[in-house]
Amino acid sequence: MIKKILVSLDGSSYSKAVVEYSFWLSEGFGAQLTGLHVVDIVALEGPFIHDLSGSLGFEPFLNFSTKMREVLEANGKTILENFKKDCGNAGVPCETLLSFGIVSNEICEKSRLSDLVVIGRRGVNVGFEYGILGSATEGVVRKSQRPVFIAPAAFNAPRNPLLCYDGSPNSTKAMHQAAEFSKTLALPLTVITALKGTDGERVLNEARDYVAPYSIGARFVRTDDEPPYSMEGYYRENSHDLVFIGATRHSRLGEMVLGSTAEHLMRAVDGPFFLVR
């Protein structure tokens, strides 16, 4: 299932948890890690350089971006060297990759030969970002062709995953990932839906039939309250620590969006998310 994992490293406060989750996944699946650091060209070529120099009272000089590039490249190499050292100490097979470009685009491009992307919920600009995800992470979620594992600020090995299922195509893909995940790591799986009446029973029966061959300890739950709040409550009351959920395609843009349930859950709970398109 998961044999190659792309690990997005930016040196932020979330990076430690990103590395720990990637080690945990590598051990469980026997997967090789590729540590990726992207030198953000927006930081090199964006208008903020001129704004900054103007505010400090001097004219921008021609080699400013060159010097900035050298600094950011050296920082990226240090981040990757530390990652490689940590992998060696943990006995985890890895390779590293330094790239230049728009961060989310580079991550998506480099993930084409991977089975999973692991990224922190927020990045180096955590103090200036106010959405549910950092800008780079949101860009990866929207554009990635691969499943995305979003790590919270602190590592906690998942023991009780929850799958949010509504019968949609991407939800079905999430169910496949969740079943394989739980089978491989010998974890239980709870499948929850907020569809009411016969629709709710139908999708739960679909889930029962699909999960049965995996021979995992599975529970199937239908809630009658509003989907985001009932799922949040169930997550908390039953000590879940990982959410599998399908992203939603925006038909006009051709990109992936979270959808109201996923967005609410990501605002409300601090655990990791496994997003599937």
Separation CA 261–CA 267 (nearest Å): 10
pLDDT of residue 153: 93
Residue with tokens 């469980």: 28
Q: Which of 32, 5, 25 is nearest to 181 (CA)?
A: 25
* Phi, psi dihedral angles at 170 (to 5 degrees): -75, -30
> The pTM is what?
0.87
pLDDT exceeds cutoff 60 at 46: no
* Burial (CB count within 10 angstroms: exposed 0-12, middle 13-18, buried 19+), residue 101: middle
Structural domains in the chain plus CATH codes = 4-151 (3.40.50.12370), 161-276 (3.40.50.620)
Question: 163-190 pLDDT, tens per residue?
Answer: 999 999 989 999 999 999 999 999 999 9
pLDDT computed for residue 176 by the predictor: 97
Q: Determine the pLDDT at residue 56.
A: 45
Question: Sign (positive/negative) of CA torsion 233, 234, 235, 238?
Answer: positive
Q: Average of pLDDT values for 119-135? A: 64
pLDDT per position as a tens digit, 4-42: 999 999 998 899 999 999 999 999 999 999 999 999 887
Could you tell me if 195 and 222 are in contact, meaning their C-beta atoms sit under 8 angstroms apart? yes
Q: Are 196 and 275 in contact (CB under 8 A)?
A: no
Beta strand spans in 68-216 (E): 94-101, 116-120, 148-151, 161-164, 189-193
Can you give the pLDDT at residue 1? 80
What is residue 151's three-state secondary structure?
strand
Q: Phi/psi of residue 76, each to 5°? A: -65, -40
- How open is the CA angle 244-275-163, to the nearest 5 degrees? 10
Look at residue 225 in the predicted model and tell me its pLDDT: 76
Q: Residue 42: CB partners within 8 Å, gap ≥ 6?
A: 102, 103
